[in-house]
Structure 1
Amino acid sequence: MTNEAQQEINAVFKQKTEKFVTESEKSANNRDASVEEHKYDFRQDFLVTFNREGILSVVIDQSSYTGGAHGSTVREGLTFSLKSGMQLELGDLLKADPNYKQTLDNMLKERTKNESFADVSAGLNAKPDFYVREGGIAILYQQYEIAPYAAGFPTYEFNFSELLPKGTNPFVSFSE
C-alpha cells in the first residue's frame, strides 16, 4: 500500500470518528441535568472482514446509549482499494455483471420474503451497506430498517460465484 492510499483510508476513518464524537458530545450536552439518569455511553468498534488481494473491508459499529430501554447502534461497511485508497462501492466489485443490481435485488427479495420478523420483502437499497467477506459480500440492513430491534442487523451473504460470470475475479483491477 502506498503512503497516499494509506492517507486516503485513514482520512475516511478519521472523518467518521470525528463526526461521531461531535454528535456524541452534542447529545451528552443536551441532557436534562435536573433528572437523575443513567450515564450516557458512546462507543465505536470495528472489525476487519477482509484484507487481501488489494482490498480492505471493515465493519464499523457506532453505539450510543442516552437512556431508555436500550441503546442504538449504526453499522457501516467500508471497503477500500489498497492500491489507490479509494472507497469502493458495490458496483466496483461486481462490474463484470452489468445486471448485478437487478440480480441482487431479486435475491434479497427472495431471501427476505420468508423471514419471520418482517412483513417486508426487502430489496437492494440505492446505496447498500455492504462489506467483503471470504468468497463474497454481505449486504446488511440497519436496526429497524426491515425488522424489529431484537433482530439486530439483518445480514445476507452472497458468494461471488452467485453474482458474477464463471471465472471472474472481482479483485483483478485492485491487486495489480
Structure 2
Amino acid sequence: MKKKGLAIACAVTMLASSVPARAADGIKVFVNNYEVVFQGQQPVIADGYTLIPVRGALEAMGVQVVWNEKEKSVLLTKDKQEAKLVIGKKSFEGGKVQLETPAQIIGGSTMIPLRAVAEYFNGHVAWDGKSKTVSITIDKKEDAYSAVTYKKDLKAANGTVLITGTVKYPQLNTETLGVEARAINDKIASWAKGSLESYLSENKELVTKEAGDLGSDFKTHDFIIDFETPYFKDNIFSFYSNQYTYTGGAHGNSYAKGFTYDLKAGIEKSLSNFVALKDTNPERAFLKNIIKDDIKQNPSKYFEGADKMLEESQADIGFYLTAENQLVVFISEAGVVSPYSSGIIRVEKKLALGNK
C-alpha cells in the first residue's frame, strides 16, 4: 500500500471534555491508497471502538465539515448528501443510521466512529487487524478535482494565536486521471503548504515580539491562500491562486499566482507552449503588452502614468486559462499600476491558443 501523505487540515478544535479513551498506537487510515496524515489528535480507542478526527478521512473523501458550537454538532455534506452528527448521540438522519458509539470530543477534537459515516457517504471500509490499517475506497468520480484545506496557526507560549494560517488548493481526481495527476497534486500541495509553513517560520520572531510589545492592542495576523474554479479541458489544468496576508495595518496585502499543467506529462506549462514568442524576455514582454493595451483602452482603471510604472515595476506578471482560447493576464501584486482598492489587476485576452 502506498504511503504518500495526503494534506489534511487539523481536526475541528473545541473545548475538551473528559472521555475514557486510550491511544490507538500505530493505526493508519488510507483513502484510495493515500495515507491520511492526522495533525494533532490521533485515532483513539474508546468503548472498544476506533475513533478518528472528523476532518481527516472525511475531507479526503470529498466531504465538507462544518462545526456548530451552539448545537455541539458537526454538519457533513457531499454533493446532495447531508448528515448532522450531534456530540453524545449514537445515531443521525433521524435515527435511520446508527453509530457503534457516539461522536465525542477528545483532546479538543471531534472524534467519530468511522465506518457508519464513511459508508453513508458511499465509502467502502475495510479493517486489517494485523497491520492496524483502515482502508477506505470510494467509487471513481467524474469530477476532475476537489478542494483541500490545510490549516496551521502560530501560537505564543501562553496559547494566544499570533498568526492564523489557512490554505485552500485544488487536487485532481487521481482515480480517473492517473499517475500524472498524482505528480501534479504533490507539486500543488507542496507549494501551498510550503508557502504557509515558510511564512509562519519567517515571521515567528517578529510577530512574537510585536505581540509582547503591544499586549492587548495586538491584532492577530492572517495568512490565506485560496483559488478560483480551474479550467480543465484537452489535458490542460489551469487555475488562479490568491495569497492574502494581514499584519495588523489598515489593509492586507495580496499576491497572485497562476498555474497551468499538462495532464499527460504531469508538468507545468509555460506561455510558450501556447503562443509563439519572439522577444529576448518573451513571456514577460508578451504579457506586459497585453496590460499596456488595457491601460490605453481603459485609462480610468489605472494611475496616471501607469504604463511607465509598469515598465519600471519588478512585480511578476502571470497568466492562466479560463476557457478555450481565453487567456487572463495579471500583475501579481495589488497597487502597482492602480489603486490598492482595485485589487489584483487582471486582463482577459482572446487568443488563438495552440497546445504545443
Q: TM-score range by the shorter chain?
A: 0.7 to 0.9
Q: What TM-score, normalized to structure 1?
A: 0.78
Q: What TM-score, normalized to structure 2?
A: 0.41
Post-superposition CA distance 1:91-118 (Å, at most 9, x none) = 11114x7588666554432221342222
SS of corresponding position for 1:56: strand
1:1-176 alignment, distance < 5 Å: 1-3=177-179, 5-25=180-200, 26-31=202-207, 32=210, 33-35=212-214, 36-95=217-276, 105-113=288-296, 114-116=298-300, 117-118=302-303, 119-121=305-307, 122=310, 128-135=317-324, 136-141=326-331, 142-160=333-351, 164=352, 170-171=354-355, 173=356
Q: Which has the higher strand share?
A: 2
Offset at residue 30 of structure 1 (A): 1.8
Which segments of 5 or more consecutive residues in structure 1 lack a partner in the other structure? none
Given that 2:287 and 2:329 are in contact with CA atoms closer than 8 Å, whether structure 1 keeps it comes out as: no
Offset at residue 49 of structure 1 (A): 2.9
Post-superposition CA distance 1:2-57 (Å, at most 9, x none) = 31x22321222122223321233132442112212111111111123301111111
Q: Distance in 1 between matches of 2:199 and 2:330?
A: 24
Give aligned pairs, total.
162
Post-superposition CA distance 1:138-172 (Å, at most 9, x none) = 00012122222112111111112xxx3xxxx623x
Given that 2:290 and 2:347 are in contact with CA atoms closer than 8 Å, whether structure 1 keeps it comes out as: no
Q: Which has the higher helix share?
A: 1
Aligned to 2:59: none
Which segments of 5 or more consecutive residues in structure 2 lack a partner in the other structure? 1-176
Q: Distance in 1 between matches of 2:344 and 2:184?
A: 25
SS of corresponding position for 2:306: coil
Q: Distance in 1 between matches of 2:315 and 2:343?
A: 21
Q: Greater relative contact order: 1 or 2 (C-alpha under 8 angstroms, separation 6 or more)?
A: 1
Whichever residue aligns with residue 251 of structure 2, its letter is: H
SS of corresponding position for 1:30: helix
Alignment CA distance shift 1:91-1:128 (3 Å)? farther
Alpha-carbon RMSD: 2.6
SS of corresponding position for 1:83: coil
**Structure possessing the higher radius of gyration over alpha carbons:** 2
Whichever residue aligns with residue 112 of structure 1, its letter is: I
